[in-house]
Structure 1
Amino acid sequence: MKRKWILHIVFVLFTVYGFSQNSQLAKQYFEDGDFDKALAIYKELYDSQPYNNTYLTYLVQCYQQLEQYTEAQEVLLHKLDHSGNPIPLTEIDLGYNYLLQKDSVKATYYFDRTIKYIEMKPEYSGSIGYQFHKYSLLDYALQAYTKGMELKPNLNYGYAIATIYGEQGNVEKMFDTLLDLYATNEQQQTKIRRALAQFITEEPSNQSNQLLKKLLLKRTQSAPDTKWNEILSWLFVQQKQYNMAFIQEKAIYKRTNEISLDRLTDLALAATEDKENATAISIYNFIIEKSNFNGAILEAELAIIKLLSQENPVPEKEIEDKFHKLLPEYGMIPQTVQLHIAYAHFIAFQKNNPEVASEHLKKLLKLNLSVFDEAAVKMELADILVYDQHFNEALIYYSQIQTKLKNDVIGQNAMFKVAQTSFYKGDFKWAENQLKILKSSTSQLIANDALQLMLVITDNSQEDSLQTALKIYAKADLLAYQNKDTEAIKLLDTILTKHKGESIEDEALYKQAKLYEKAKAYDKAIINYEKMLEFFDGGILTDDALFALATIYEYHLIDTDKAKEYYEKIIFNHQDSIYFVAARKAFRKLRGDNLGS
């Protein structure tokens, strides 16, 4: 008896396995467009399992692909005739089969019958609507979904209905439906924003953008709700109108009396990323005014200081006044480490008083700091010591960080700075050894910087055994680090005149061009970049020069055609470039493509 059971189980397993194998083979034939072979297997499978709807669907589709509509019709009618209950989806399949034969009368008969089933059982509406939608019978799909919702209000097909309106090109109805859904279904709000994003662009004058804005403003007036402010804010962010988004976020904050200012912080960060510094500063000032949390206030103050430090010229007096207010107010405690790091950086790099900055940070190191805070302080201290050309002392601090946090990004960054400092000192061999290790850094940014500096050393050591030009370049690089840009530019001129034609000329042109950009001398920067493309085309800095030219023309000279020209060269000729993705996105935006979000 036991043996019979075992044999039975083995037989069943082999049978199931056989069906599975045949099913996979049939599907492969179908996907390859070999419908005759797929049909033969699906007929066999369906004959063996007439209740398997998947086999029925593929069988019918095979007949239809082979234009054997009568055979498909017979299979579907047989299914309907031998069922004791209505099968709405099969009737839709049958109606569609008649439609393929241009018999719209019979097709309509079955489609209308299917809609009537919804009156008997509203729950059918979802699957019926989906089946109509699958066949692109959009009017019937809408009819099914709306009828189901009318008969049973707890059914919600809003998203499916909005999708159909979008496919029909009825953008206004689609927006309205999505907004209705946004108001009632918090779980789908992210999904709804993604759907809206497919129909808008970064351009505020875009017709769909204007339509969505109009519908939202209408809702804020007729039925005020912070949800509409949220989407308006989101729309303005997509359009890079951060000041307009800020107005909406302030309205949300005032109406809800939110304790958290996270939304405003996120907006400030987005504005900063797009270099809308004035708007970001306004947002941070609002956070300072409204927040009751000292940590959030201090973060906002430091963010403002960082933004002010990026201005040209830097408003030193304003920054200094802020520090004089904040330092005594917050004191020197472990919780205010970032404040003191920022202050030391300002004193050293902006006020050119590295000794005072170093002493300030050494006092900070006497506190009971976490390992990461200690590393941050030592990193800034070492940076200042490099600025002051106390290279050996700086190397000690960098090495301490590297030893304690060797598996962390900050440890790898310290290792890079060891190499960079050695480069400034003229110890090129030691720098090169460190950089070889860093090429495989887990941080892509550090790995790229390491590779670039290593190539500067190796490329310019082979043809010049005395490394004369390389030493001049390293000195110019240090001057740039010390914010002595005019001196750095003059020293780079020495390379460009006395070492013309050497491989380091490419590096010198690029470094000098970056300093010209910093000084807003864009015409001079362009000349350098164009020289690089003329004389060093195909070199390691070609894509850097192309991207720099593209961004100058896009953001500073507002010449869209020239910007597109340089972005396009990266897209077609430098597909392995680190700028490829950014160049493609920028090119498509300038061309007017809808990028979504």
Structure 2
Amino acid sequence: MYIRICIALCFLFGAGGALAQLQVPDVSKVQLANKYYQGHEYEKAAVLYDELFQNTKSSYYFDLYLTCLTESGDFEAAEKEIKKALRKDETQATLYVQWATLLKKQGDDEGAEKKLQESLEAVPASRADYIRLSNAYLNTGSYDYAEKLYLQAPQKIPGENFYYELGRVYLFERNYSKMFDTYLDMIRNDENTLSRMESAVQSAFRLDVDNSLREKLKSLTLQRMQQEPTVIAYNRLLIWLFLQEKNYTQALRQQIALDRRGLDESPMIMELARIAARNDEYTEALKAYDYLISKGDVTPYFYQAKLVRADLLYRHFSVGAVGAKTSEELAAEFEKCFGELGYVAETQILVLDYAHLLAFHLNRADKAVELLEFGMKMPRLQQIEIDELKTELADVYVLTGDVYEAILLYSQVIENNKTNELGDQVKLKKARLGYYMGEMAWAKAQLDVLKASTSKLIANDAMELALFIGNNMNLDTTSVPLQMFARADLLQFRNQTESAWAVLDSLQNEYPFHSLQDDIYYRKASIMEKQAKWTEAASFLEQLVADYPWDLLADDALLELGNLYRTKLNDPEKAQGYYLKLLEDHPGSVHVSEARNWYRQLRGDFDTQSEQDVRVNETIN
């Protein structure tokens, strides 16, 4: 061991120069130098950067040292240092770029041009050196030389390609046609670089205020597809462009076309369907699933597509989308699906969907109870999946009026899920049930605890209901109005819309000056929306805003009015007006961000990225 230590010490002391090169810089000195540099005190910074370079031999500090000399006007010293460094190693091509900058500062443009040309000739034939020199060009605005550098690369470094780097140069030059052509050449050469191209062109698209660049790339891609139909990368790029536009119809058409050419596109079609469904494009998502199912069980996605398709049909129905199946048609779909897939752990989500359909839409609560009890006995279910079924069963009992059985089941689920989101969801359901039953103080106490839930959605719902109860619970000597309102909510939960409406009417007539009046308008608007009566819904919301402009629900009503006129009533001008009113009258509302976003879109604003936001990526790829 002693001998090994002696050898190591001899090596270190004998290699003093190498050790000095590896010396760690003085952090305090670096910070002070940077402070001087950022404050444009270049003479002071130059002294420190020189010391740092002498200690570390890092080209990074040397470059900063030269920059400080140049910026401070000490051209003679800067040129001397550059010449000295080049005598040691004339292949340091970036030094010629520094020299060119120095000459330009002195007004010698011809000399600067000569030095830039010399940098092209001096650069070593290595990928790292080419990228380093290119970054120097880009940082000094010498874009034409960065282009020349990469165009000479095939002759200087055979076997290396610089499509991506050259495309980035064209991005800096704002020469988008050449940029697109270069990137299209890149993906033709290697389809695996497609993700790099997509990321790169996004930088250009951020500056594209009128979508002309997106259309240009789409046009160039279609031309390439016609000229080189065997290059699959072009098809994949076109699909990506369609997805950026949320044009799921064309994206799916292209994806299916590839699949029919003998490629197995099943995973991509499945993902496209998921994306479309997340964006409420149910028709295209269903087409994608139908196509996968039509391929038969030769694809591993056959059964998965059947399962997810049935769940999507239910979601399509539950939001009242145009073209959705009727409750009876949907029940038939579920029966068919269970006949093909069976009652197994994988179909647990369908059991939940079907039970809810039976109980809440087909008036078959008895069959829903049987289905859920049977579902809880399916093999291989995890405990949380059993608890989800148990929660739905409790909801059905609330529907049928068996409140105490519902409370028992809710309590069991809460006990089993003390540390996850399902537990908080069921606590919220149990607290809401207390509200339905008129136990206002107890319900509010539970809701106050849930306001700290890790789930933002649960916390917001709990806060909203707790605030509602608190604002209306102690205003009168009697709690009858609030209990009537809760009764209407329970009837609405049970889909007994006419009865709920009658209770709201009675409440409105019997207590015309109660603080619940704006809530009544809001509930009636909600009922109208569920029945797709958009004009009537808007009318109630407008009444709320007119009569109670500063009440708690005013900003909610304004946002909902904006959304209604934007999405359902096809009146973007009115929608814009309601969003603006929300911004002006309720600047502290939680809806301000959403309202501002839609207002700007309707007004025609676009988010752009300044040219200064595009920076040189100095990572050597």
Q: TM-score, normalised by structure 2?
A: 0.85
What corresponds to 2:614 in structure 1?
none
Is the aligned partner of 1:376 residue 2:396? no
Tell me, yes or no, if the aligned pair for 1:50 and 1:56 is still in contact at 8 Å. no
Name which of structure 1's ranges 156-165 and 32-41 shifts more when overlaid on structure 2: 32-41
Distance in 2 separating the partners of 1:473 and 1:229: 57
For 1:432-484, what per-residue CA distance to the aligned partner results, in whole angstroms no more than 9, with x for missing partners?
12211211111111111111111111111121342222112212222222233
Alpha-carbon distance change, 328 to 121 in structure 1, aligned in 2, over 3 angstroms: closer
Matches within 5 A, 1:146-295: 146-185=151-190, 188-200=193-205, 206-224=211-229, 225-258=231-264, 261-292=266-297, 293-295=302-304
Alpha-carbon distance change, 20 to 257 in structure 1, aligned in 2, over 3 angstroms: closer
Alpha-carbon distance change, 141 to 530 in structure 1, aligned in 2, over 3 angstroms: same
Matches within 5 A, 1:527-542: 527-537=539-549, 539-542=551-554
Matches within 5 A, 1:73-88: 73-80=79-86, 82-88=87-93
What corresponds to 2:366 in structure 1?
355
How much has 1:90 moved relative to structure 2?
Answer: 0.9
One-letter identity of the residue aligned with 1:318? E
Alpha-carbon distance change, 397 to 245 in structure 1, aligned in 2, over 3 angstroms: same
Tell me, yes or no, if the aligned pair for 1:122 and 1:151 is still in contact at 8 Å. no
Tell me, yes or no, if the aligned pair for 1:288 and 1:300 is still in contact at 8 Å. no
What corresponds to 2:480 in structure 1?
468
Matches within 5 A, 1:37-116: 37-46=44-53, 48-49=54-55, 51-80=57-86, 82-116=87-121
What corresponds to 1:392 in structure 2?
404
Tell me, yes or no, if the aligned pair for 1:543 and 1:574 is still in contact at 8 Å. yes
Distance in 1 separating the partners of 2:500 and 2:39: 64
Q: What SS does the aligned partner of 2:473 have?
A: helix
Distance in 2 separating the partners of 1:542 and 1:490: 24
Partner of residue 130 from structure 1, selected from 123, 135, 139: 135
Is the aligned partner of 1:301 residue 2:310? yes
Alpha-carbon distance change, 121 to 411 in structure 1, aligned in 2, over 3 angstroms: closer
Is the aligned partner of 1:344 residue 2:355? yes
Name which of structure 1's ranges 274-283 and 586-595 shifts more when overlaid on structure 2: 586-595
Name which of structure 1's ranges 333-342 and 230-239 shifts more when overlaid on structure 2: 333-342
Distance in 2 separating the partners of 1:545 and 1:153: 66
Distance in 2 separating the partners of 1:192 and 1:564: 37
Alpha-carbon distance change, 69 to 402 in structure 1, aligned in 2, over 3 angstroms: same
What corresponds to 2:465 in structure 1?
453
Alpha-carbon distance change, 175 to 491 in structure 1, aligned in 2, over 3 angstroms: farther
What corresponds to 1:325 in structure 2?
336
Distance in 1 separating the partners of 2:544 and 2:40: 52
Distance in 2 separating the partners of 1:32 and 1:577: 41
Distance in 2 separating the partners of 1:54 and 1:454: 60
Q: TM-score, normalised by structure 1?
A: 0.88
Tell me, yes or no, if the aligned pair for 2:351 and 2:372 is still in contact at 8 Å. yes
One-letter identity of the residue aligned with 2:79? Q
Distance in 2 separating the partners of 1:492 and 1:341: 31
Q: What SS does the aligned partner of 2:236 have?
A: helix
Name which of structure 1's ranges 300-309 and 64-73 shifts more when overlaid on structure 2: 64-73
For 1:312-359, what per-residue CA distance to the aligned partner results, in whole angstroms no more than 9, with x for missing partners?
685233213213322333333334322322221111111122122112
For 1:103-140, what per-residue CA distance to the aligned partner results, in whole angstroms no more than 9, with x for missing partners?
21011010011112248777632221121011121111
Partner of residue 26 from structure 1, selected from 22, 33, 47: 33
How much has 1:214 moved relative to structure 2?
Answer: 1.0
How much has 1:203 moved relative to structure 2?
Answer: 11
Tell me, yes or no, if the aligned pair for 2:191 and 2:233 is still in contact at 8 Å. no
Name which of structure 1's ranges 409-418 and 228-237 shifts more when overlaid on structure 2: 228-237
Alpha-carbon distance change, 371 to 121 in structure 1, aligned in 2, over 3 angstroms: closer
Tell me, yes or no, if the aligned pair for 1:145 and 1:161 is still in contact at 8 Å. yes
Distance in 2 separating the partners of 1:454 and 1:202: 46
Distance in 2 separating the partners of 1:570 and 1:188: 46
What count of residue pairs does the alignment treat as equivalent? Answer: 584
Alpha-carbon distance change, 438 to 351 in structure 1, aligned in 2, over 3 angstroms: same
What corresponds to 1:593 in structure 2?
606
One-letter identity of the residue aligned with 1:593? F
Distance in 2 separating the partners of 1:434 and 1:231: 52
Name which of structure 1's ranges 118-127 and 404-413 shifts more when overlaid on structure 2: 118-127
Alpha-carbon distance change, 40 to 446 in structure 1, aligned in 2, over 3 angstroms: same
Alpha-carbon distance change, 62 to 84 in structure 1, aligned in 2, over 3 angstroms: closer
Distance in 2 separating the partners of 1:29 and 1:202: 34
For 1:399-434, what per-residue CA distance to the aligned partner results, in whole angstroms no more than 9, with x for missing partners?
111111121111111111111111111111221122
Q: What SS does the aligned partner of 1:311 have?
A: coil
Alpha-carbon distance change, 343 to 203 in structure 1, aligned in 2, over 3 angstroms: farther
Q: What SS does the aligned partner of 2:408 have?
A: helix
Tell me, yes or no, if the aligned pair for 1:547 and 1:566 is still in contact at 8 Å. yes
How much has 1:500 moved relative to structure 2?
Answer: 4.1
Distance in 2 separating the partners of 1:32 and 1:507: 59
Distance in 1 separating the partners of 2:206 and 2:58: 45
What corresponds to 2:422 in structure 1?
410
Alpha-carbon distance change, 84 to 456 in structure 1, aligned in 2, over 3 angstroms: closer
Distance in 2 separating the partners of 1:523 and 1:319: 28
Distance in 1 separating the partners of 2:572 and 2:259: 38
Distance in 1 separating the partners of 2:430 and 2:403: 9
Name which of structure 1's ranges 408-417 and 494-503 shifts more when overlaid on structure 2: 494-503
Distance in 1 separating the partners of 2:364 and 2:351: 15
Report percent identity of matched pairs.
Answer: 27
Partner of residue 553 from structure 1, selected from 562, 565, 587: 565
Distance in 1 separating the partners of 2:589 and 2:506: 30
Tell me, yes or no, if the aligned pair for 1:202 and 1:239 is still in contact at 8 Å. no
Q: What SS does the aligned partner of 1:476 have?
A: helix
How much has 1:568 moved relative to structure 2?
Answer: 5.0
Tell me, yes or no, if the aligned pair for 2:92 and 2:122 is still in contact at 8 Å. no
Unaligned runs of 5+ in 1: none
Alpha-carbon distance change, 380 to 62 in structure 1, aligned in 2, over 3 angstroms: same
Name which of structure 1's ranges 464-473 and 49-58 shifts more when overlaid on structure 2: 49-58
Distance in 1 separating the partners of 2:120 and 2:487: 81
The CA RMSD over aligned residues, in Å, is: 3.2
Partner of residue 521 from structure 2, selected from 509, 524, 529: 509
Alpha-carbon distance change, 120 to 467 in structure 1, aligned in 2, over 3 angstroms: closer
Distance in 2 separating the partners of 1:67 and 1:491: 85
One-letter identity of the residue aligned with 1:417? K
For 1:186-209, what per-residue CA distance to the aligned partner results, in whole angstroms no more than 9, with x for missing partners?
554333212223344899983122
Distance in 2 separating the partners of 1:154 and 1:572: 62
How much has 1:558 moved relative to structure 2?
Answer: 3.1
Distance in 1 separating the partners of 2:450 and 2:268: 37
